[in-house]
Chain A
Amino acid sequence: MSSTFEAEVIAVMEQNKAGEDIHKASLSDAEKAEIEREFAHYEDKASVGLEALRIVQKHRGWVSDESLRAVSAYLDIPVAQLESVATYFQLIFRQPVGREVILLCKSASCWIMGCAHLQKKIQEKLRIKPGEITADGLFTLLETPCLGDCDNAPVMMINGEMHRHLTEATVDEILDNKIKTHRAKGSCHAGPDTD
């Protein structure tokens, strides 16, 4: 047998599924660092998918096709699989959302306590339907099945902050305050913010 066997030419490819030609959209260093911190909690990289999407959404407001591909390339999981996760969870946004995401609870308790009126109020005030963004890019209204705060019904959550025992008047006040704050910051005519 020949002794001219060139071992270095036989490339040993141990389960590296990263394709050569996958378009590498980039994640920021901060995003990567946060995603890497999650690796410790899971058995494999693929399981970090959901957390990675949350992290990207935290930084970018929503998950665009490019962001989805970037996460897919970074975690080495098929983009369709990631899309499957992203579209399963209601709070992963695959469309741009406003700076303030209003989650209006529509559970049984909130319904008894009149959330339908609140919804009408919000829709009329902001001139949006559920799933839409206000023209100034400030608000998105979403319905949600239950926020788990039934004893304080009706409730809504705006960007993670709970608002309880709502009435049409308090809703009005909360929204006005939000608008005022954003006007002060000068960010309300910027349109949907996607960075």
Chain B
Amino acid sequence: MPTITIDGKNYQAEEQENLLSVCLTAGINLPYFCWHPAMGSVGACRQCAVIEYKNTDDKHGRLVMSCMTQVREGGIYSVDATRARQFRGGIIENLMTNHPHDCPVCEEGGECHLQDMTEMSGHTMRRFRGRKRTHRNQYLGPFINHEMNRCIACYRCTRFYRDYAGGTDLQPLARNNQVYFGRHEDGLLENGFSGNLVEVCPTGVFTDKTFSKHFVRKWDLQSAPSVCEHCAVGCNTAPGARAPGNGKDPILRRVVNLYNRDINGYFLCDRGRFGYDYVNSEKRIKNVLVACEKNIISSTAAPGERIHGEIHPEPAVKHLARHLAEVQQGRRRLIGIGSPRSSLENNFALRELVGKNNFFSGLSARDLQLLQLVDRTQRDARIHCPTTPEIESADAILILGEDIDNTAPRVALAVRQAARNRQKRQAQQLQIPLWQDASVRQLRVEASPIFFIGLEKPRLADITSATLLGTPEQTALFADSIAQLILGDDTGARKLAPDCRAQVEQVANTLRQAENPLIISGCGSRSSDIIHCAGKIAATLADTSSSPCSLYLACPEVNSLGLTQFFPAGEGDLEQLAHTLEIHSGTPCTLIVLENDLYRRADRHTVERIFNSADAVILIDTLLNNTARHADLIFPAAATAESQGTYINSQGTAQRFYAVCEGASYIQESWRWLVDAANFCKQKSPQLATIAAWRHSMDLSEALAANFHQFEVLEKIGPDENYRLNGLKIARQSHRYSGRTALGAKAQVAELPPHPDPDAPMTFSMEGIQSPAMTPLSAHIWSPGWNSNQSIIKFQQEINGHRLGVRGSVPIRRQPQPLPEWQLAASVPAKTSKTLTAVPLYRLFGSGELSVGAAAIASVTDIPFAQISREDAQRLDVTAGDIGQLQLGGESHTVEIRISDAQPPGTVGVPSGLPGLETLAALLPAPAQLERRSDREPGETP
């Protein structure tokens, strides 16, 4: 560890580190623009200049760029020297000659790195009186604003978008004073990580367009640590909310990244960043709705569908309480249906209310089995669930049948970094430090081996060493031969055609020789064989190397793995529920559906059997959906950003999220509706009495910890509502939060006390602990002089290290269980000339149930389509763009026919969860028929 001197003080520095990182780690405020903790240095902006002295006799020294200077033992530097300060001031002054004077109307203002650095460099007067160069801005889609006049040409945007995220449509154009960062022509930025430009850009060139629609300054946002609910990766987010001040409901205004080293680091995907807006959507349930008794003339409701009107919550809760009372008297059955998109706490509350035998997962048998298999696989001691930095350091990766670009996007971004590991190793051999970004990227080295086998050509195809496309059955066969070959058994491989055999051999050899091999798979193909094979390969590799092998299994939804923990193998699926209900048809039955649209989970027949057997359907949910049409009573549920709870991500990590704001109207956490009903019950069984006594979210977390050994860790994630720091709770609002009296003035001129929070160690107020350095429970990342998100470096143990303080993410403790013996069944896919097999395709925008409720995402979501191979298109006599009729599982849908050379013949790709086709997702893969029709437009309901 070299010892260096900066302005007369000694510091210990990491070997090979650059001087800028060392200064920032030491807490020295040194301005910079182009350096980024995840992307290293390129020395483009010249802002971080310092003086380096040859030795103690050297009184003059020379200017060096600290980001490009490797520290050396005994090095003497000065940040404070007048010459260095003047130089840095000059750089800012030069940048400012073209930067507009628009801070008051710029959406970056108040969290602008350029503002911070300008202040820091002491450049407070403008001397330049000439004309500023002006640019025309581009339309970049519904997510990102473009204001090129503000650009300071630091190149961070293209370094992130092109070099880090693999985008190809954002480039530096022109040169000199005219440098322009944009697309070839107007249009949506194609890369799924484009939203990070908002945070990567040190000034206001790229800003969040969805935020613009309800913009307020950063300091006026109320925030708390949250977890993204749009996939199972579990990225940490800091959503921001604020009431509009006109007496209307509070608005969830934006989502920004919240640093978590092991999961999302500095970056989110666009579904996660822009999907928040579903909370403000018109489909949001804000009041208690009850089905009307009488028919309404000219209603568009189909037979069996209900029409609803708003009622006050009290009679509704009393109604539910009456049902609970009848249950206790044995005159009624109560069935609870949980949800993989609701918290552990909500699911647990419902399970306790209905009893574990009456609690069902809300998933089809196929889905639940897949998840239980994932859970079982992860319990094997030979399997290791990798963190994001571990994925990034894998030296050989095999992706089996999982379209991670669309099902676990943040993992795909990590895989993209892993492709550079050979290049990085070469750099180390050449003594080039890894932060020398441009130098390392210039090295012409073969990409690290990444193999993809799946249905659709992935975005990652530009960095994979081989992309193999095939049906799920073929993927499983291929994977099985790899597992065999690693063990030295080539019977499987010998049956393959020569080119496939060569591929299998190459993959097996590469994995066997790798030091950190990584297998990635998941539920995306909806094939248990593929997950079995992935587990088998990982276990085999672990056996041969006698250390656990990394296996990432992507789950479909935010709490899929958490929900799975409630059900023993073979229990809790919807088909079973339909069966049970029909057997016990004598007793009246109330069905409580928790945050779940059953039509997305099972075939229409099963769902209708369930609804027909229940004489009362009660739904607690956030958005109106198909299930809501059949509900007698609908309670408004809090969205993630309005509630507290725990999610278990695909890695098996439990993460607590906290309410950012209170839900509008009567919205509250689902479990509170159940507790309210229990409280209205006069006669309480001991079980009901326990439920009625729950007051805080942490009461449920503690009960979960006491009831399930895997959830014991829940007690330790984050403190409870009684936690105080220096006698204070943590403030959700910044110390500059404005207008707290005025905001509510429309309703009441007096300043009321802040809304009480019974759940969290936080307040909906400015009073309390403001410093993110004191606790990671503060999501308001801010430090004096550092108003932008760059201030996160102030709260890390070291640059790119863990966040200071107790971690809010802890792996759940599951009983280790070795993988069961398993053999791939010989399957001969029956092929008839007319039938195609429908297989799921995934889309970043469209496949997420909640995120398509966000207006911006809905505007770029595809129309219903079905994708077939050229061969099948010829056979069916259809051409691309034809309107077709897709028959699947007794349903018929109008779709646009698309043709892809990559689609395996005999299959038809159906976008999973896409609006209009959402009821098909649970049926895939399944036999299907497709034929041309020309009398309807796509998207029109048949």
Contacts and interface: CB of A to CB of B under 8 A. Distances in A.
B169 A78 contact: yes
A5 B173 contact: no
Which of A1, A2, A13, A14 has the largest number of chain B CB atoms within 10 A?
Answer: A1
A1 B492 contact: yes
A4 B830 CA distance: 11
B466 A12 contact: yes
Nearest to B465: A15
A79 interface: yes
Nearest to B480: A1
Contacts of B185: 65
B468 A12 contact: yes
Given A5-B496, A12-B503, A13-B467, A20 B175 contact: no
Contacts of A83: 171, 173, 184
A41 interface: no
Given A17-B461, A80-B184, A1 B175 contact: no
Contact of A80 (B174, B183, B457): B183
A9 B470 contact: yes
Nearest to A77: B168
A10 B461 contact: no
Nearest to A79: B184
B556 to A, nearest CB: 25
B188 interface: no
A13 B461 contact: yes
A87 B178 CA distance: 10
B477 A2 contact: yes
Contacts of B444: 43
B457 A13 contact: yes
Interface string B158-197: 0000000000111111110000100111000000000000
Nearest to A68: B184
A190 interface: no
B491 interface: yes
Interface in B456-495: 457, 461-462, 464, 466-471, 474, 477-478, 480-481, 491-492, 495
B474 A9 contact: yes
A87 B174 CA distance: 4
Give the size range of B's interface with the partner. Answer: 35 or more
Interface string A61-90: 000010010000000001111011001100
Nearest to A65: B185
Contacts of B497: 5, 7-8
A113 to B, nearest CB: 25
A10 B498 CA distance: 12
A169 interface: no
B884 interface: no
Nearest to A11: B469
Contacts, number: 99
Interface string B359-388: 000000000000000000000000000000
B900 interface: yes
B176 to A, nearest CB: 10
B828 A5 contact: no
Given A4-B828, A78-B168, A10 B474 contact: yes
B901 A20 contact: yes
Contacts of A79: 169, 184
A5 B474 contact: yes
Nearest to A14: B466
B806 interface: no
Contacts of B478: 10
A17 B169 contact: no
A71 to B, nearest CB: 12
Nearest to B499: A12
Contacts of B329: none
A75 to B, nearest CB: 13
A17 to B, nearest CB: 6
Contacts of A11: 468-470, 901-902, 904
B174 A88 contact: yes
Contact of B469 (A13, A43, A81): A13
A78 B462 CA distance: 12
A15 B184 CA distance: 24
Interface in A82-122: 83-84, 87-88
B583 interface: no
A133 B173 CA distance: 24
A20 B247 CA distance: 53
A3 interface: yes
B828 A2 contact: yes
B503 A1 contact: no
B825 to A, nearest CB: 9
Given A10-B470, A12-B503, A5 B495 contact: yes
Contacts of A65: 185
Contacts of A7: 496-500
Give the one of A12, A17, A80, A83 with max B CB within 10 A: A80
A65 B183 CA distance: 13
Interface in B94-138: none
A155 to B, nearest CB: 23
A87 B495 CA distance: 54
Interface of B: 168-175, 180, 183-185, 444, 457, 461-462, 464, 466-471, 474, 477-478, 480-481, 491-492, 495-500, 503, 824, 826-829, 900-902, 904-906
13 contacts: A5-B477, A5-B500, A9-B904, A9-B905, A11-B901, A12-B468, A13-B467, A15-B464, A20-B900, A65-B185, A80-B183, A80-B184, A84-B173
Given A1-B480, A12-B468, A20-B900, 5 more contacts: A2-B828, A10-B500, A11-B904, A79-B184, A87-B180
Give the 8 A-B residue pairs with the shortest CB-CB distance, closest first. Answer: A7-B497, A78-B168, A84-B171, A10-B470, A80-B171, A2-B826, A80-B184, A87-B173
